Structure 1
Amino acid sequence: MLDNIRADLRAYGGDWGAQGFWVMLVYRFGRWRYGVRPALLRKLLSLVYKLLFKLVQVLTGIELPCEVEIGRNFVIDHFGGIVVSGYARFGDDCRIRNGVVVGLKNVDTPVAPVFGNNVDIGTGAKILGAIRIGDNVVIGANAVVLMDVPDNCIAVGVPATVKPRKSLRDVMPGAEE
C-alpha cells in the first residue's frame, strides 16, 4: 500500500493538498483492507473505509470506489462531479477531469468501460456501458462515448464520433515526435 501511495504522490507532483490525491489515499486504503486478517479487524477497517469514502466524496465531489481496478499513475485533474462505477477498469497513465462519469449504460447490466493505457478523458465526458477504450486515446470534453474506441484515436461529440489521432508530423511537417 505504501509503495502505491508514494507512486500516487509522485503522479500528483508531490502535492499533498491535491483533492485527487486524497481520493487516491482512501482508494488505496480500501483496496488494502481486503487482505487484512482476522475478519473482525477487516470489518472494523471496512467501517473506517466507508466513513472515509463518504467524507472524501462530500469534500471533493469525487466518487471512486475501491472496487475499481486502477493501473499506475492514475491522476484526477480538477475535482468535482466525478463518478466512477465500481465495475470500471483503468490501465496505466490515465487522467480524468471534473464532471466525468464512467459507468453503466443500463442499471440492469452491471458492466462498465475498460480503459487501456495512456487515456486522457476531458472535462464533462460520459463513458458508459460494456465498451473498451484502447491505448493512447483522447476523449474530448463533454463527449458521450457509448461504443468502443480503438487504439490511437480521439472520441469527440454527442454522441461521440471516433477519429484517428493525428501525429505531430501530420500537423507540423518536419517536426519530430
Structure 2
Amino acid sequence: MFDNIRADLRAYGGDWGAQGFWVMLVYRFGRWRYGVRPALLRKVFSFIYKVLFKFVQIITGVELPCEVEVGRNFVIDHFGGIVISGYAKFGDDCRIRNGVVVGLKNVSEPTAPVIGNNVDIGAGAKVLGNIRIGNNVVIGSNAVVLIDVPDNALAVGVPATVKVRQQSETTAYT
C-alpha cells in the first residue's frame, strides 16, 4: 500500500493538497483492507474506508470505489463530477478530468470499459458499456464513447467517431 501511495504522490508532483491524491489515498486504503486478517479487524477497517470514501466523495466530487482496477500513475487532473463504475479497469499512466463518467451502458448488463495504458480522457467525456479502449488513446472533451477504440487513436464527438492518429501525433501526447 505504501509503495503505491508514494508512487501516487510522485504522479501528483508531490502535492499533498491535490484532491485527486486524496481520492487515490482513500482508494489505496480501500484496496489494502481486503488483505487484513482477522476478519473482525477487516470489518473495522471497512467501516473506516466507507466513512473516508463518502467524505472524499462529498469534498472532491469524485467517486472511485476500491473495486476498480487502477494501474500505476493514475491521475485525476481536475476534480468534480467524476463517476467511475466498480467494474471498470484502467491500465498504467491514465489521466482523467472533471465531469468524466466511466461506467455501465445498461443497468441490466453490469460490465464497464477496460481502458488500456497511456489513455487521456478529456473533461466531460462519457465512456460507457462493455468496450475496450486501446493503448495511447485520447478521448476528446464531451465525447460519448460507446464503441471499442483501437490503439493509437482519437475518439471525439457525440456519439464518438474514432480517428487513427499519425505517428507524430501519437508521440506528441506521450
Q: TM-score normalized by structure 1?
A: 0.95
> Does the C-alpha gap of structure 1 residues 111 and 7 become closer, same or farther in structure 2, counting only changes over 3 Å?
same
**C-alpha separation between the residues in 2 aligned to 1:30 and 1:129?**
25
Cα deviation 1:76-111 (Å, max 9, x = unaligned): 001000000000000000000000000000001100
Matched, 1:145 2:145: yes
**C-alpha separation between the residues in 1 aligned to 2:115 and 2:169?**
26
> Does the C-alpha gap of structure 1 residues 39 and 140 become closer, same or farther in structure 2, counting only changes over 3 Å?
same
User: What residue is the counterpart of 2:154 in the other structure?
Assistant: 154
Q: CA deviation at 1:165?
A: 1.2
User: What residue is the counterpart of 1:59 in the other structure?
Assistant: 59
**C-alpha separation between the residues in 2 aligned to 1:48 and 1:123?**
31
Q: RMSD over aligned Cα, in angstroms?
A: 1.5
**C-alpha separation between the residues in 1 aligned to 2:100 and 2:115?**
14
Q: CA deviation at 1:169?
A: 7.3
Q: Where do residues 108-147 of structure 1 align in structure 2 (5 Å cutoff)?
A: 108-147=108-147
**C-alpha separation between the residues in 2 aligned to 1:167 and 1:133?**
18
Cα deviation 1:8-56 (Å, max 9, x = unaligned): 0000000000000000000000000000000000001000000000000
Give 1:83's aligned amino acid.
V
Give 2:31's aligned amino acid.
R
| Stretches (4+) displaced over 2 A | 166-170
User: What residue is the counterpart of 2:72 in the other structure?
Assistant: 72
Cα deviation 1:153-173 (Å, max 9, x = unaligned): 000000000001133379xxx
Which has the higher Rg, Structure 1 or Structure 2? 1
Cα deviation 1:52-78 (Å, max 9, x = unaligned): 000000000000000000000000001
**C-alpha separation between the residues in 2 aligned to 1:150 and 1:140?**
15
Gaps of 5+ in 2: none
User: What residue is the counterpart of 2:49 in the other structure?
Assistant: 49
User: What residue is the counterpart of 1:3 in the other structure?
Assistant: 3
Describe the SS at the equivalent of 2:89. coil
Give 2:43's aligned amino acid.
K
**C-alpha separation between the residues in 1 aligned to 2:12 and 2:156?**
27
Give 1:64's aligned amino acid.
L
User: What residue is the counterpart of 1:107 in the other structure?
Assistant: 107
User: What residue is the counterpart of 1:25 in the other structure?
Assistant: 25
Q: Percent identity?
A: 81
Give 2:22's aligned amino acid.
W
Gaps of 5+ in 1: 171-176
Aligned residues: 172
**C-alpha separation between the residues in 2 aligned to 1:68 and 1:77?**
18
Q: Where do residues 163-174 of structure 1 align in structure 2 (5 Å cutoff)?
A: 163-168=163-168
